[in-house]
Amino acid sequence: MKLNTRAQSAQSPNNNSPIVLVHGLFGSLDNLGVLARDLVSDHDILQVDMRNHGLSGRSPEMTYAAMAQDLLDTLKANNLEKVTLIGHSMGGKAVMALTALAPEHINGLVVIDVAPVDYNVRRHDEIFAAINAVTDAGVSTRQQAAAIMRDHLNEEGVVQFLLKSFVDGQWRFNVPVLWDQYSEIVGWEPVAAWQHPTLFVRGGNSPYVTEACRDELIRQFPEARAHVIAGAGHWVHAEKPEAVLRAIRRYLSDTAN
């Protein structure tokens, strides 16, 4: 599947690796915009809507093998030979899966607040309940949707994040498939070791990348380095964008060809 994309050319011509930004569950290509606005100064940028999200195609399948193939199809459609991939959460797992499918297309890898493990835990049932409550109410405005979601969700930041995908009374993600395929989204099939520098950025307050994940992370990404952003949770790039960008830029500088 060729994904819906937004492409931007670097503001300063150079030979830097293009960057592909890949969002997480319930997101869209806008979600990593804070990173795009900075990195476009000296990198071509491609933002993508993952399958069953945004304006990309719909499918009953949400495996990481399928998502990695989507990314490869999209790279080829955009004539991108070698790129640096930055993925958050579900998007982080998708870019890690691409290392097994098409390592020759990857110049660098940044994974934001997720580990290459099967989490085997449901963290989003309250979000699904809030989304379904909005759908059942048949409301059409974001203000109406927000009022309903606040009955289910305590974090205003999560409410505002979800509202970005509520357009003209419709969700821009495929709720039934995301629910049906949730075990695939939180799951993981281990990949062969990718023997290149990889940056893992995690929020200091997030439960997604812990010491329990360390052995599997190092086994699959033996040249990984970790950067912890203190005082941030799972949406670390939204909470502490400057700190995340500093870590990414340090990585890009260290790994530049």
Chunked into runs of 10 residues, the chain (257 residues) has average pLDDT values of 96 92 97 96 97 98 98 97 97 98 97 97 94 97 97 93 95 97 97 97 96 96 97 94 98 86
Q: Under 8 Å CB-to-CB from 108, ≥6 apart: which residues? A: 17, 84, 85, 196, 197, 199, 251, 252, 255
pTM of the model: 0.96
What's the pLDDT at 14? 87
Rg, the chain, Cα only: 17
Both 115 and 129 in a single domain?
no
In-domain check, residue 182? no
**Could you tell me if 95 and 40 are in contact, meaning their C-beta atoms sit under 8 angstroms apart?**
no
234 is catalytic: yes
β-bridge partners, 198: 109, 224
What's the pLDDT at 138? 96
In-domain check, residue 27? yes
Residue recorded with tokens 């390592």:
103
Both 223 and 241 in a single domain?
yes
Q: Of 135, 158, 177, at which residue does a domain stop?
A: 177
> Among the options 28, 89, 165, 206, which is catalytic?
89
What's the pLDDT at 13? 83
What's the pLDDT at 257? 55
CB atoms within 10 A of CB 219: 13
In three-state secondary structure terms, 167 is: strand
What's the pLDDT at 89? 97
> Among the options 43, 53, 88, 234, which is catalytic?
234
